[in-house]
Amino acid sequence: HTGMLDINNRADLLRQNIMDATPYMYVSIANVFSSVIWIAVIIGIFTALKRKRTQLKESDTIGV
């Protein structure tokens, strides 16, 4: 009897966790578009930092 209660409690907890996570699982055009924009911005920042680092290394080797 306690095993069935334990399974019931775990099933209720799992159901509640799924209900809590459901709003975050919606895929809409706006969410996809904003995610793509954020990823592009982050990649752009890293690219700019890499370019700046190579420019600084080149200027150090030249001695400017």
Indicate yes or no: pTM above 0.85: no
What are 15-61's pLDDT values in tens digits? 998 888 777 667 788 888 999 999 999 999 999 999 999 988 888 88
CA distance 13 to 47: 44
DSSP state of 62: H
pLDDT at 39: 97
Number of neighbours of residue 9 by Cβ within 10 angstroms: 10
